[in-house]
Amino acid sequence: MKKIIFNVIAFAFAAVSLSSCGYNSMVEKQEAVDEKWSQVQNVYQRRADLIPNLVAVVKGYAKHESQTLENVIAARARATQVTLDPDKLTPENIQKFQQAQDGLSTALGKLLMITENYPDLKANQNFLELQAQLEGTENRIAVERRSFNEAVKDYNTYIRKFPNNLTAGMFGFEKKAYFESQAGADKAPKIEF
């Protein structure tokens, strides 16, 4: 009987200790980071989903631009193949993910630049709508990346504070990586519509 009472008291003490040392908050903050990462991937997928429609519209007007169209399709395939599990958000993995997305952005920029040579394409309602959706998606990407970085900051700060850092170390809560600007990101890409 004493053993049962001792176990109940030990369990209650452990539960109170873990909740007061921030374990539950760490779980909540880690889940927030994972959710924000899912939103980042969601908006990148939205962009990838728009590209086949854009390529199809451009293809009808710019048949001799097949190399540019093929490059966009190949870049889209590379970008959608790079996935990243929220538990593996290291700086190196985020950089690989971002490089694949940057390759797609570059190819897409070239595709949009060739539209200058096709006035009928620039006036096509489907093209204009896709272009507007793509612009909106690029804005969403920026918003979601910022939101992700804010959640990472909150989580990283929390697990590094004392005494939370002790609990984080005991239970394997590790720092998450941020999205960072790529080299040359301080210069806006030149894309003319």
Q: What is the pLDDT of residue 3?
A: 78
| Of the candidates 69, 72, 53, 190, the residue with the CA atom closest to the CA atom of residue 127 | 53
Q: What is the pLDDT of residue 11?
A: 67
Flag whether 111 is in a domain.
Answer: yes
Flag whether 177 is in a domain.
Answer: no
Averaged pLDDT of the chain? 82
Residue 112: give the domain boundaries: 27-171
Flag whether 85 is in a domain.
Answer: yes
Q: How does pLDDT run across 111-170, given as a tens digit for each residue?
A: 888 777 777 777 778 888 888 888 888 889 889 999 999 999 999 999 999 989 998 999
Kindly report the CATH number assigned to the domain that includes residue 91: 1.20.1440.20
Flag whether 9 is in a domain.
Answer: no
Q: How many Å apart are CA 105 and CA 192, to the nearest integer?
A: 14
Q: What is the pLDDT of residue 146?
A: 93
Q: How many domains does the chain have?
A: 1
